[in-house]
Amino acid sequence: MDVSRRDLVKLLAIAAGAGLRPARLEAADGPSRLLAFEPLGNVTLLHVTDTHATLRPVFYREPDTLLGVGAERGRPPFLTGADLLHAYHVAPGSIEAYAYTYLDFPVLAARYGRMGGYAHLATLVKRTRAERSGRTLLLDGGDTLQGSATALWSRGEDMVRVSNQLGVDVLTPHWEFVHGLERVKELFGDRERKGLFAGDFVAHNVTELGWAERPFHPYTIREAGGVRIGVLGQAFPYTPIAHPRRFVADLTFGIREDGVQALVHELRDEKKVDLVVLLSHNGVTVDLKLAARVRGLDVVLGGHTHDALPQPILVGRTLVVNSGSHGKFLSRLDLDVQRGRVGGYRYRLIPVLAQDVPEDPDMAQLIDEIRRPHEAQLGERLAVSESLLYRRGNFNGTFDELILDALLRRADAQIAFSPGFRWGITIVPGQEITLEDVYSHTAVTYPNTWVREMTGSDIHQVMEDVADNLFHPDPYYRQGGDMVRLGGLTYAIDPSKRVGKRIRDIRVAGRPFEPGRRYKTTGWASLGEVDGPPAWEVVADHLRSIRRVKLGARPRVRVV
């Protein structure tokens, strides 16, 4: 039987949708296979999240360490490297292996190139909308307005303009709030008026302090393919804890499980919707628990933890999706919705391969307009890296080590703290590090550094508190971020222990840690008011002085 190229692409799409990865066909077809999708049903949901203002294509290495606790161990999303490849039947060295894991990253980065970029993302969105006219919604899970110099300097306006050009229909927030409540209202509006954003901004779990009033709409109702779709917004529940309280001084957040259930009933019983979607910035483990406890949710489109799930996790009848970060992926979920029920679905986490997906000219023009005034400044060449520099993972990454080195040197300190942020692009060996790259790891609205003395017991307490945020057995008590990054010391950690008992064998410069001793410490991104130089200045000055970055192995953390 003769098989045309079109038929081959269709067969590959069906095989991929069933979780099959025939290696010979993959080699024959290459990247185009990942863009093929056999449509299903009457609704298509497109999802991006945690783009962190990454306008242009970048390298972004997925984590090598994601530790689950208890029953989570060895189950999605706590799979990395070879374990992930095995679980999802992905061939080593393939495009998916490059996109989903850290394995052989420099080699595969040279082969497959940079990923993401809003101009390439826009091409994929337009193709899908043309194919599924009147059936498609594009939803953004937040962390969109932070992570770059231009987003910082424009106070988020550049990313709202780009989101409008992309055609985002609905967005829910997290880092958006670090620009301050009034700025959020200017950009996104509130219940009384529209902002610059053309879509709907939803956040049911944000209320005014001391009142039950919601400043923002809790949900929106959209129609696609003749289906009434209710989209509930779940902002990051711990925004006032994860960031300086001054940005949201008059607001309360929280998971508000009962509120989700009440609104699901309202949407189904009063508003007569056919499909209920939770657009969430909880983090995937919180989404999984919530999906198990709330009845009537059809789909959870989640963000915050940057997990790239090759397939949805099914919790009862609820599909839980997480779509990675930095614009690396576009999730497509096709649904067959009949009489208020999902009868079938087809899904793909589509890698946005910049060298294989052409730029959308209109989006490319807008991005050029945004960046043009700053190109010379952002393009300053600070150093060349001989090492692979990355951040993402439960513990210190190599770019974290670079930041810590800069802090220690500037302050002449013994111990340095750097937040366990998940965002920040990757630098491959031989790549020049520019000022823009430094901002991609430090661009926050509270960037100032600090220096002070801390007792050993206080340092230990900070470490234990952050570890509990990461490894608490109940996902509802995890308040975001990975483990605080530490320079100048080493330690052992047992995630399975209870709070106060996880951290042990701390050593400073190789010597035993002394709880009663006072240590000179430094850090940045404090939740309090500090006035040291901003982190980007400290890191950039450090790079200008050393000119070449070469980091040897640093066994900072021993996991028990």
- Chain segment 216-241, per-residue pLDDT in tens: 999 999 999 999 999 999 999 999 99
Q: Which CATH number fits domain 379-559: 3.90.780.10, 3.40.190.10, 3.30.450.20, 1.10.10.10?
A: 3.90.780.10
**Contact yes or no for 216/262 (Cβ under 8 A):** no
Per-residue confidence (pLDDT) for residue 23, from 0 to 100: 32
pLDDT exceeds cutoff 80 at 15: no
pTM attached to this predicted model: 0.93
Per DSSP, 231 falls in state E
Which DSSP helix (H) or strand (E) runs through 545? Answer: helix 535-546
Ramachandran area for residue 426 (φ above 0: left; ψ -120 to 50: alpha; else beta): beta
pLDDT at residue number 155: 98
Take residue 416 and report the two structure tokens written for it: 């340095």
| pLDDT computed for residue 432 by the predictor | 98
Is the pLDDT at 34 greater than 90, yes or no? no
- CA 127/CA 473 separation, integer angstroms: 42
Burial class (CB in 10 A: 0-12, 13-18, 19+), 1: exposed
Confidence category of residue 5, pLDDT binned at 50, 70, 90: very low
What average pLDDT is seen over the chain?
93
| pLDDT digit string, tens, across residues 414-453 | 999 999 999 999 999 999 999 999 999 999 999 999 999 9
Tokens 């052409």 belong to which residue? Answer: 358
Residue located via tokens 């038929």: 7
* Of the candidates 240, 234, 242, the residue with the CA atom closest to the CA atom of residue 290: 234
Residue pLDDT, tens place only, 350-393? 999 999 999 999 999 999 999 999 999 999 999 999 999 999 99
For the chain, give the percent of residues with pLDDT over 70.
Answer: 94
Q: Identify the CATH homologous superfamily for domain 43-58+114-368.
A: Metallo-dependent phosphatases (3.60.21.10)
Residue 370 CB coordination number (10 Å): 19
Q: How many Cα atoms within 13 Å fall on the side-chain side of residue 530?
A: 20
Which pLDDT score is estimated for 308? 97
CA angle, residues 457, 463, 465, in degrees to nearest 5: 100
Instruction: Dump pLDDT digits (tens) for 503-541.
Output: 999 999 999 999 999 999 999 999 999 999 999 999 999
Least confident of 8-17, 86-95, 271-280: 8-17
pLDDT at position 30 is 63
Residue 3 has pLDDT above 80, yes or no: no
Residue type for position 291:
A
Cβ–Cβ < 8 Å for 130, 340: no
